[in-house]
Amino acid sequence: MKKLTNSVLVIVLSSSFAVVSAQKTKQDTAKTKNIEEVVITGALGIKKKADALTSAQQVVSAEQLNQAGNPNAVQALVGKVAGLQINQTNSSVNSSNSIQLRGIRTITGNNDALVVIDNVISSASVLQTLPPDAIESINIIKGAQGAALYGADGVNGVVIVKTRQGAKNNRLSVSYDGTVDFETVAYVPKRQSKYGQGWNNTRDQYENGAFGPAFDGNITAYGLPMYDYNGDGVITLDGLGWGKGTPTSGDNPAAMVMPYIARPNEIKKFFRTGTTLNNSITLNAGGEGKYALLNLNNTRRDFIVQDDKSNKTSILFKGGAKVNKFTFEGGINYIRTDVKQTPLMYDENSNNSIFWNLLQSSPDIPITNYKNYSDNAFAWNLFYQNPYWRIKHVREDYKRDFFNATVGLGYEINKHINVKYTGNLQQTYSTSTKHRDSFLPTQYNGPGAADAKTITSAYFLDKREWFDYYGDLMLNFDYDLGSDFNLKVNLGHNYQDHRYQITQMGGTNLAVEGVYNIANVTKPLPASSTSLTNGTYRRNSHAVFANLDLAYKNFLFLNATARNEWSSVLPKNNNSYFYPSVGVSFVPTKAWDFGGNLLSYMKISGNWTRVGNSSGVSWYSINRTTELAAGFPFNGYNSYRNGMVQADQNIRPEFVTTYEANLDLGFFKDRIKFTGSIYQQDTKDLITDQTTSTASGINTKKLNIGQMRSKGADINLGFVPIKTADFRWDVNVGYSFNESRVLKVTDDAKEVNLQSGTSWGIFAQEGALFPLIKTSMMERDEQGRIKINPANGLPILTSELQNAGIAVPKSIYSFTTNISYKGFKLGAVADFRVGHVFVADIKSGLAFNGSLWDSGEVKREEGGFVMPNSVIPDGKGGWTPNTTVKTGGNNYATAISYFSTKYATYGENLLADGRAFKIREISFSYSLSKNIVRQYGLEEVTFGVHARNPFEKFADNNLNYSDPETSFYAGNAKGVAGRSQYPNTRVYGFTLNLKF
């Protein structure tokens, strides 16, 4: 694939040179003027010419962001910026995403990029609720030097969002942006289609297993008659529950009877077509020295799961004015989010998720026929819940209110000096109530009654409040030093105050069914429960900073920054830390005349940055806090112990030192543009969790011990093969490479386990790439052949977990193209991720219940199978090819035991190649002629259609088990696609844009 990709790049570049040269030779109507001087808003709102940037940055325009009508601004960035990786950590109706730039720099701290909205620190969760049509541009600061002024907050790069400002043309402008989306499930795991419900080759209508006989088409009983059939309040056998036809002799009363055949599409059919309606109205007004903007947005989403829905309303107001020497700016943003969904309760695990319950069905179960059995908790088996019952009886109501107010006041002391203060207050309130109804099958005494489960009712309340204040005071200087030099200096102070409060309570056994209130809980959570919480937290920081920009004749630029920060999460003796940066930029094409149009632009830049990072130290971890001991209350008494995780009293921030070199080239008046960066990031004093003896009173101590190195490259190649008065074709090819290696963990340990399952773990291991997936594996000989134990036919298991690969892609290739002809526009975005593996946890469940594709390829009636490429002992101390010893024995019962009990113990069986090719977006739009629309009092009318994620291709050993981008864990333990995530969706929709 690498050779193929490189060949394509060469062909594309060669072809673009040829096409552009041919177009120039013919002297057609191409308008190939040089691009105007671009001004980019960087850290702390400081504006610079693109020539003066000394670090890698890339701007995504509003048009690029909105071309496919994505209502989520974070997801709309996917595939459009080299070095930017966005992963979905929650695939529910209220999905969440993480944003990472250029890999990983810390093991225990935060690796997500900083999000800044209108010059104040925000978050990815706020950005994904901000209406994309309210955004003017997003500047991605990849290089650490460009983000150094943000200090520890900007160590992972910065996503700077600039929302739209009001018009400045002395008139009122009104625009409407509307989108209708239709969402369907893209795929579900491929399952075997030869064997049906049962166990040990025997039909059993109450089993979740697919270890029954081979399909024969006979009429067969399905499901449990465990529901109140006649409405008298008593759960009875459904003597009238038979469907058409006569069931096989020996079957028990059931919910329905159906032919015994495979129904491969039932899981996919369970999910409905979801819809999203997104409507925005924007009012712009303004004139010389003043502006105002009001954006009103509502987004309603009906999810692919019945009754799961979200409703988001956003109000954004911005305004500004300049009066004499004073400048006033301000903004208010309110976002209300309401979500109704089927959750996991606090006393449940992923085995109770809807998707997992669906997968615990054999391939013949007519799942969608149970839609009307929503009061039967165990529709087709006695072990896993009916998803229709969960939809009706397990619910969450989530409400979130976000308030954001910003005020900016500036004063021009003279034409060279001005001062500005920006203050921002953000408050967020969220309330979540979850309830579960009971299910009491106690009056059912039919077949399988001994396995019937009682489900207890429950109610949980979760209330949270965030308070964040951000303030910047800046004194700005701008002087021309003679005719050749320009000097700009920014001096400032930053203050941040963050407060967080949480209250969680609840319990089980409601006294009155259907009354969801804490007072109705008869069995409250024990005081030691992690779901019973009442805490208040606060942290703050102060910083002083300086920025210097020196320009010489507009072709040579020097930038230097310095910041000193004081953080409350660190001990007093180490809470002050200083970090500098310096960068240079040189534009040879503006220093000398190169002649001709071949090389129209060249910029060479580089920088060095040292930034601190204290995110690995949590709030109050340097203090000896207490917590309730396990097992209490006891006999009415509580007992407290010291917190089991504590930071060293001399802990200091990690320091990340970055070296970056950049090259920008433009050919044929920028018809062809190349941007490339290489970088290295060294993290020292890595904050590492070290296991200690519990005799010390703690079990984990945070220490400054580890070291890590991350290095990589970003490349963008953009070209305009054809450009005439009416037609333009733009193409951009991107490539990014990154790998992070742990150089040291601790003095006493060579690895740290971040997350683990039965047969796998996510590790930081000395000398290895990070994050590293390790699994149990089958022993192999020197030729790579699997060693078999002839006594039981099972592969010999390694005694320790083995390195299996890294959990994040080493390389990401991206491709975007846009074609415009008069009022028509066509665009597409695609990417390809490669170089990593992931744990598809779903495979363990599919193997356990007999639905795994591999298990259907075995002729179970004949017993097990000879493991491909395996060897057995030759009796002489060596190994010989295995042709006779079966894994799974010689009968059906022993054959299924390998898949049901042994398969997942070999962690390598759960691995899947993470490579994935995806078409992210396809969009087509048409704008009516202005001469036509102005007859109706309009300025612009645009219609569009789009598709998001219409196609993906995974590696051959990933039979749609999971999307490698989804991760069950939101932190640094990436690489595990969990069983509770919903499958990916495809979106097709329409857009309408009007401007008055």
* pLDDT tens digit sequence for 196-219: 999 999 988 888 999 999 999 998
429, part of any domain: yes
Report the run of H or E that residue 728 belongs to, with start and end: strand 727-744
Instruction: Give yes or no for a contact between 299 and 312, defined as CB atoms under 8 angstroms apart.
Output: yes
- Range 589-593 contact pairs with CB under 8 angstroms and sequence separation of 24 or more: 589/666, 590/51, 590/553, 590/554, 590/555, 591/553, 591/555, 591/556
* Rounded distance between C-alpha atoms, residue 155 and residue 141, angstroms: 11
Q: How many angstroms separate the CA atoms of 632 and 223, rounded? A: 42
Q: What is the share, in percent, of the chain residues with pLDDT greater than 70?
A: 90
Q: Which of 69, 271, 305 is nearest to 187 (CA)?
A: 271
For the chain, what is the mean pLDDT?
Answer: 88
Task: Answer yes or no: is pLDDT of 528 > 80.
Answer: no
Which residues are registered as beta bridge partners of 571?
none
pLDDT of residue 644: 73
Tens of pLDDT along 915-969? 999 999 999 999 999 889 888 889 999 999 999 999 999 999 999 999 998 875 6
DSSP strand pairing (700-723 vs 645-647): parallel
Main-chain dihedrals φ then ψ at residue 391, nearest 5 degrees:
-60, -40
Considering 87-96, 417-426, 618-627, the range whose residues carry the highest mean pLDDT is 417-426
Report pLDDT for 833.
Answer: 96
The verdict on residue 398 lying in a domain is: yes
pLDDT at residue 158 is higher than 50:
yes
Q: Which residue has the tokens 């333009």?
A: 728
Q: How confident is the model at residue 34 (pLDDT cuts 50, 70, 90)?
A: very low
Cα dihedral 504/510/512/517 (nearest 10): 0
Q: What is the pLDDT of residue 411?
A: 97
Q: Is residue 371 part of a domain?
A: yes
Contact 105, 708 (CB under 8 A): yes
Report helix, strand and coil shares of the chain as percent, to nearest 5.
15, 50, 40
Which amino acid belongs to residue 580? P
pLDDT at 252: 60
DSSP H or E segment with residue 976: strand 976-977
How does residue 619 score in pLDDT terms, banded at 50, 70 and 90? confident
Cis preceding linkage at 343, omega within 30: no
Inside any domain, residue 954: no
Helix or strand run (H / E) with residue 183: strand 173-185
Q: How far apart are CA 663 and CA 305, in angstroms?
A: 48
pLDDT band at 31 (very low <50, low <70, confident <90, very high): very low
Output the pLDDT for position 180. 98
Residue 900 has pLDDT above 70, yes or no: yes
Tell me: pLDDT of 869 over 80. yes
Q: Which of 965, 881, 883 is nearest to 917 (CA)?
A: 965
Q: Could you tell me the CA-to-CA distances from 694 to 273, 303, 644, 701, 725 in Å, in that order?
A: 53, 47, 8, 11, 75
For residue 866, give both structure tokens: 């000879």
CA–CA–CA angle 162, 164, 167 (5° rounding):
140
Asked if residue 275 belongs to a domain, the reply is yes
Q: Alpha-carbon Rg of the chain, whole angstroms?
A: 31
Contacts of 196 (CB under 8 A, 6+ apart): 203, 210, 212, 213, 214, 215, 220, 260, 262, 362, 363, 364
| Per-residue confidence (pLDDT) for residue 402, from 0 to 100 | 97
In this structure, which amino acid lies at residue 584? V
| Confidence tier at 2 by pLDDT (50, 70, 90) | very low
141, β-bridge pairs: 57, 158
Tokens 């390829």 correspond to what residue?
Answer: 857
Q: Which domain holds residue 384?
A: 170-437+501-514+534-540
538 pLDDT above the threshold of 60: yes
Rounded distance, CA 952 to CA 971, Å? 26
Q: In one letter, which amino acid is 714?
A: D
In the chain, the number of structural domains is: 1
Q: Answer for the pair 32, 600: CB distance below 8 angstroms, yes or no.
A: no
Contact status, residue 59 vs residue 65, Cβ threshold 8 Å: no
Contact by Cβ (8 Å): 160, 42: yes
Is pLDDT at 567 greater than 90 in this prediction? yes
Is residue 356 in a domain?
Answer: yes
- Are 574 and 652 contacting, i.e. CB atoms less than 8 angstroms apart? yes
Provide, rounded to the nearest whole percent, the portion of the chain with pLDDT above 90. 69
With a cut of 60, say whether residue 633 has pLDDT above it: yes
pLDDT tens-digit profile of 66-102? 999 999 999 999 999 999 998 887 788 988 888 999 9
> Any idea how long the chain is?
996
Please identify which residue in the block is written with the tokens 């000193």. Answer: 564
Average pLDDT over residues 613-619: 86
- Concatenating the DSSP letter of every residue in 21-88 gives HHHHHTT-S---PPPPPPEEE-GGG-EEEGGG--S-EEEEEHHHHHTT--S-TTGGGTTSSTTEEEEE
What is the average pLDDT across 332-344?
Answer: 95
pLDDT of 6 above 50: no
> What is the rounded CA–CA span in Å between residue 548 and residue 413?
19
What's the pLDDT at 514?
92
Pair of tokens at residue 224: 């449990």
Query: Residue 376 domain-assigned?
Result: yes
CB 88 within 8 A of CB 128: no
Q: Between β-strands 556-567 and 576-586, what pairing exists: parallel, antiparallel or unpaired?
A: antiparallel
Alpha carbon 603 to chain centroid, angstroms = 34
Give the model's confidence band at 694: pLDDT under 50 very low, under 70 low, under 90 confident, else very high: low
Q: What is the pLDDT of residues 245-299, one digit of tens each?
A: 444 445 566 677 889 999 999 999 999 999 999 999 999 998 888 999 999 999 9
| Dihedral of alpha carbons 10, 13, 19, 24, sign | negative
pLDDT value at 597 more than 70: yes
Whether residue 363 is contained in a domain is answered as yes
What span, in angstroms and rounded, lies between the C-alpha atoms of 369 and 386?
12
Could you give the CA distance from residue 411 to residue 321 in angstroms, rounded to a whole number? 12
Distance CA 658, CA 639 (A): 48
